Structure 1
Amino acid sequence: MLSRRAALMVGAGLAAAPVLVQAARAEGSMDTSAAAPADLSSLPRIRHELAIPPLVHDHEQVASTGPRIVEFTMDIIEKEIQVADDAYLQAMTFNGSIPGPMMVVHENDYVELTLRNPATNTMQHNIDFHAATGALGGGALTLINPGEQTVLRFKATRAGVFTYHCAPGGPMIPWHVVSGMSGTIMVLPREGLKDVAGNPVAYDRVIYIGENDFYIPKDADGAYMRFADAGESYPDTLEVMNKLIPTHVVFNGRVGALTGDNALTAKQGERVLFVHNQANRDTRPHLIGGHGDLVWEEGKFHNTPRVDLETWFIRGGSSGAALYKFLQPGLYAYVNHNLIEAANLGATAHIKVEGEWNNDLMEQVLAPSPYAGT
C-alpha cells in the first residue's frame, strides 16, 4: 500500500494534469484478458543478470539463433544518493543505479521484464519503454504500488538504442525522471551493426553513459537541503524543477562518477561503442581528442550512421550511439559540450587509454621553453 504522504503526493500530481492522467487511466484500465494469447511456447528462453553502469551485461553482437524470450528482473529502489560533496538527492532508481542498467536484446526478440516495487518504498512506479509499441510504452500495464510486482513482455521490433523511464502520470513523470528513473535498452540488428557501406562492424567494449539533470533545493543560507525521504523533498524540488535550471548535470549519478579513480579504461586500437542516454534534456556529447567514427545520432541502427563527427546531438528523451577506435594513448575527456555544464555542473567522464604514442598523428615539435619576444 502507498504511505499516506505518497498517496497525497500522487493525488496532487494527478489532479494537476487531468488530460495526461485520463489517458493513462483509460489505457491502464483496458482489459487485455480477452485478447488472443501469443503462443511463444516454441521460443527458447535466456536470462541475463543486469550489470551496474557503465558496464553492460554479456551479449552477442550478432544473433546466433532465431528470436528468443530474453528475461530480466529489475527492482525499484528509493534511496538517498550523494550527487556532490555538498549535495544529496532522495533518488528513485531502477536496480539501485543511475542510470538504470542497460538491457541488450536483438531485433524481434521478446523482452520479458519482471519489475518489482519493494514494500519498503513509498511511491507508485512503472516503466515506459520507448522501444515498445502500445500501452504508453508498457507504462499503462506496469503501474505497481510498494509491495507489488508485475511482468511485462514486448516484442523488440525496432533496432537501436532507446530510453526507458518511469512514467506514473502527470507531474509525477518529470519528478521521477529527474530523480534518477531512466535508462537504456539496446536492440541490435540480428546481423549486428553495419558501417555506411553496409559492411559489418563490431565493437570491443561498450561504455554506457547516463546523463541526468538534478534539481536540488537550497535553504535560506544557500546550502543544499537534505530530506528524510522522496515525498518530503517534492514541494521544494518542484519549485527548482519548474525554473528549468539544473543545479547539477552529471554522468552516471554524481559529479566525478567517471573521473579520477573512477575513470574508464580502454586500449589503443580498441573500438568502443559509447551509448549515451538523456531522458529529459537535449545534450551534445564530445570526445576530447577523438571523434565519432560512426554515429547513430538518433540511436537507430537501421539508419545509415554519420561519419567523423566532432560533436553529436542527443535529443531529450532518447539515446544515441557512437563508435570510436582509439588511435592514441593517454587521457581522454568525454563531455557534454555545453562546457559550463561539463566543467561546472559535472557532465564529464575520463577514459584512460593504454598504448604507445604515434608521432605521425601528433608530435610535440618543441616542448614549452623560454620565449624572449614581446
Structure 2
Amino acid sequence: MLTRRAALMGAASFAALPAMTRAASAEEIMDTSMVEPVDLSNLKRIKRKLVRPPEVHAHEQVAPGAPRIVEFEMQIVEKEVEVDNGAYLQAMTFNGSIPGPLMVVHEGDYVELTLFNSPENMMQHNIDFHAATGALGGGSLTLVNPGEKATLRFKATRPGTFVYHCAPGGPMIPWHVVSGMAGAIMVLPRDGLKDHEGKPVKYDRVFYIGENDFYVPKDENGSYKRFADVGESYPDTLEVMNGLIPSHVVFNGKVGALTGDNALQAAQGEKVLFVHSQANRDTRPHLIGGHGDLVWERGKFNNLPERDLETWFIAGGSAGAALYKFLQPGVYAYVNHNLIEAVNLGATAHVVVEGDWNNDLMEQVQAPVEYNATHEGRTALP
C-alpha cells in the first residue's frame, strides 16, 4: 500500500540527491501497520554484537533450546575507502566494513535488526535478506532516509548461508551493491551441521570472506579518479559498471585485506569453516594446498554437502560454505580461481597454519640442483 511517508520519501530524495540518482519507487514501500502484530512475548531475547569480517560474532553451533529472538544493530556508513594503492572508492557500507558483518542464528529463530542510516549520509538505504520471506526480503520495510532508523524482524525458516544487500530500487540497486553494501547471514540447523552421512560436524573456527567487484573510474591519463562524495562518483562509476569489466576483484574490501599482516590464522588439525559470499558476480573459491572436505556449494544445509572438492562455485547473489581440516602447516592461498582476478585484480587471501610438517603427505625428495641436459631429462619426453 502506498503511504504518505512513501510519497514524501520519494519527493525528498529527488530534491536532496544528485539529479542522476533515483529514489526507490513509492510503490515498492509497503505499509503493514494495519496487520495484527504476532505475539512473541514467550520467546527469549538475546543481543548479538556484530564484529568486523573475517571474524564472526560468538554463537553456538547447536541451538541451546527453543527458538529465540536474536537482536542485531547495524549502522549504514558512507565513506571513502582505498581499495588499492591510489584507487579510492566512494563506498557505501553496512557497519563500516566491506563486506557487511556475518550474522549467525539458528533455523526457527527470529532475526530482529535495527538499521540506522547515519544523518551525515547522502543516500536512502535499506536491506534485502535473501534468507527472509516477503516484502522484497525486507527491503520495502527498511527503506530509510539519512537520520532515520527502522527495525525489521523475520523468521529464519531455511538453514544455510545467504546474502543480504542494499536494494533501494532501480539503478540504485547495482550501484549500492558494487559500492560495498552486501554481507551474509548463516542460519545453522538447530542440531548443527551434518556431513554427507548425516553425522554431526563441528568447526573449530569460522572465517567470513566477502568477495567484491569494484568499478573505479580512470581519467584520460589512466589514473584512478577520486571524488568528493558518493553522489559525485555516480555518473563515472555507472559508465564503468555498464562495461561489466571490474577494476578490482577483492576479498573483504581491498587488495591485501587478508594477506601479509592481515592473513588468517589457524592451527594444524583445526577444522575451519569458510563462508564465502558474492552479491553480484559468479566466483570459484579454491584453497591452494588444501581441499573442500565438505562443501555446501550453494550454501544450503538441508542439502548433502559435496566432498573433496578442489574448486567450488558460488553463484552471484549467493553465499556458500566449505569445511576443511588443515593437515599441514604453512601458508595457504585461498583464491578466486579465475587466476587473473586472484593475482592481477586482488581476489587472494592467505591462511597461516602453525604445526609440524608431515613428510608422508608431501616430501621434497631432492632440492633443486642443476642437471646435465645432454644426458638427463630426455626420457621425460613422449
Confirm or deny: 8 A CA contact 1:48 1:70 kept in the other structure: yes
Aligned position for 1:214: 214
CA distance in structure 2 between the aligned counterparts of 1:242 and 1:182, rounded to whole angstroms: 19
CA distance in structure 1 between the aligned counterparts of 2:265 and 2:137, rounded to whole angstroms: 35
Moved runs in structure 1, 4+ residues, more than 6 A?
none
Aligned position for 1:94: 94
**Counterparts of 1:35-184 in structure 2 under 5 Å?**
35-184=35-184
CA distance in structure 1 between the aligned counterparts of 2:345 and 2:69, rounded to whole angstroms: 41
Confirm or deny: 8 A CA contact 2:331 2:352 kept in the other structure: yes
CA distance in structure 2 between the aligned counterparts of 1:6 and 1:223, rounded to whole angstroms: 27
CA distance in structure 2 between the aligned counterparts of 1:304 and 1:97, rounded to whole angstroms: 32
Q: Deviations over 1:16-68 (max 9, x none)?
A: xxxxx4xxx4341x331222210100000000000100000000000011000
1:261 Cα deviation after fit:
1.1
Q: TM-score, normalised by structure 1?
A: 0.95
Confirm or deny: 8 A CA contact 1:111 1:154 kept in the other structure: yes
CA distance in structure 2 between the aligned counterparts of 1:124 and 1:8, rounded to whole angstroms: 14
CA distance in structure 2 between the aligned counterparts of 1:197 and 1:268, rounded to whole angstroms: 25
Residue 147 of structure 1 aligns with an amino acid whose one-letter code is: G
CA distance in structure 1 between the aligned counterparts of 2:13 and 2:252, rounded to whole angstroms: 29
Residue 343 of structure 1 aligns with an amino acid whose one-letter code is: V
CA distance in structure 2 between the aligned counterparts of 1:2 and 1:373, rounded to whole angstroms: 73
Residue 63 of structure 2 aligns with an amino acid whose one-letter code is: A
Aligned position for 2:6: none
Q: Deviations over 1:321-365 (max 9, x none)?
A: 000000000000000000000000000000000000000000101
- SS state of the match for residue 332, structure 1? strand
Stretch of structure 1 that moved more, 46-55 or 2-11: 2-11
CA distance in structure 2 between the aligned counterparts of 1:369 and 1:4, rounded to whole angstroms: 72
CA distance in structure 2 between the aligned counterparts of 1:33 and 1:177, rounded to whole angstroms: 29
Aligned position for 1:228: 228
Question: How many residues are aligned here?
Answer: 363
Aligned position for 1:190: 190
Confirm or deny: 8 A CA contact 1:2 1:146 kept in the other structure: no
Aligned position for 1:26: 27
- SS state of the match for residue 137, structure 1? helix
CA distance in structure 1 between the aligned counterparts of 2:109 and 2:160, rounded to whole angstroms: 13
Aligned position for 1:203: 203
Aligned position for 1:363: 363
Aligned position for 1:243: 243
Q: Deviations over 1:66-87 (max 9, x none)?
A: 0000000000000000000120
Aligned position for 2:17: 6
Residue 165 of structure 1 aligns with an amino acid whose one-letter code is: H
What's the RMSD between the two structures over aligned residues?
Answer: 1.2
Report the CA distance shift for 1:37/1:315 in structure 2 as closer, same or farther (over 3 A): same
CA distance in structure 1 between the aligned counterparts of 2:214 and 2:32, rounded to whole angstroms: 37
CA distance in structure 2 between the aligned counterparts of 1:5 and 1:143, rounded to whole angstroms: 16
**Counterparts of 1:329-340 in structure 2 under 5 Å?**
329-340=329-340
In structure 2, runs of 5+ residues without a counterpart are: 1-11, 375-382
Residues 1:302 and 2:302 aligned together:
yes
Identity between Structure 1 and Structure 2 (%): 74
- SS state of the match for residue 207, structure 2? strand
CA distance in structure 2 between the aligned counterparts of 1:102 and 1:163, rounded to whole angstroms: 9
